[in-house]
């Protein structure tokens, strides 16, 4: 049933996928969380993701999804919490760096924002898009110019 649910998630059939993830094992709970997340049922998704982390506190995909979902919800405290947890596990995590940029800019902490921005990998196509999801082009330009050490090849 899991592989059917995974295929439905990939096909964008989230409501159908949700029905496939019935178990209490980590993969089923994670699948449910993703389906709920994609359906915009954020509070339920948050609870399911937290259940995954209760079993596996270093579940990178869960932490990444929590950063992304909470950026979408604009819940800055959670974005920061999950970004920092993910960076402790994966120091170059792009989604965690992007999450911290959003938090830092909202808090007007340009040093932190520029520091994180400088660590975003430019080699990925459209790497700046996720950051720009919450930031204006002017803000991105300010981040690039904030410190010489934060020069970035965008």
The domain limits of the chain are: 1-56, 75-154
| Residue % of the chain over a pLDDT of 90 | 65
Among residues 77, 80, 7, 67, which one has the least CA distance to residue 37?
A: 67
Query: Is the CB of residue 124 less than 8 Å from the CB of residue 154?
Result: no
Which tokens belong to 25?
A: 């094992």
Query: Is the CB of residue 102 less than 8 Å from the CB of residue 134?
Result: yes
Q: CATH assignment of 1-56?
A: 1.25.40
Q: How far apart, in Å, are the Cα atoms of 40 and each of 1, 15, 31, 32, 145?
A: 23, 11, 14, 12, 36
On the question of pLDDT at 148 being above 70, the answer is no
On the question of pLDDT at 89 being above 70, the answer is yes
Higher pLDDT, 78 or 118: 78
**pTM for the predicted model, two decimal places:** 0.80
Higher pLDDT, 151 or 40: 40
DSSP designation for 135: S
pLDDT tens-digit series, residues 51-60: 999 999 999 9
Q: Say what the pLDDT of residue 146 is.
A: 55
On the question of pLDDT at 131 being above 60, the answer is no
Q: Would you place residue 154 in the very low, low, confident or very high pLDDT band (cuts 50, 70, 90)?
A: very low
């Amino acid at each position: 049933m899991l592989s059917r649910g995974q295929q439905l998630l990939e096909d964008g059939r989230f409501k159908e996928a949700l029905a496939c993830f019935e178990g209490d094992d980590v993969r089923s709970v994670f699948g449910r969380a993703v389906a709920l997340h994609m359906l915009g049922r954020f509070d339920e998704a948050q609870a399911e993701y937290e259940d995954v982390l209760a079993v596996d506190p270093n579940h990178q995909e869960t932490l990444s999804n929590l950063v992304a979902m909470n950026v979408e919800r604009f819940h800055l405290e959670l974005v920061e919490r999950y970004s920092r947890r993910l960076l402790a596990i994966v120091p170059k995590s792009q989604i965690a760096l992007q999450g911290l940029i959003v938090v830092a800019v909202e808090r007007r902490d340009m040093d932190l924002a520029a520091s994180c921005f400088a660590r975003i990998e430019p080699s990925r196509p459209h790497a700046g898009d996720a950051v720009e999801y919450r930031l204006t082009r002017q803000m991105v330009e300010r981040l690039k110019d904030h410190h010489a050490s934060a020069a970035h090849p965008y």
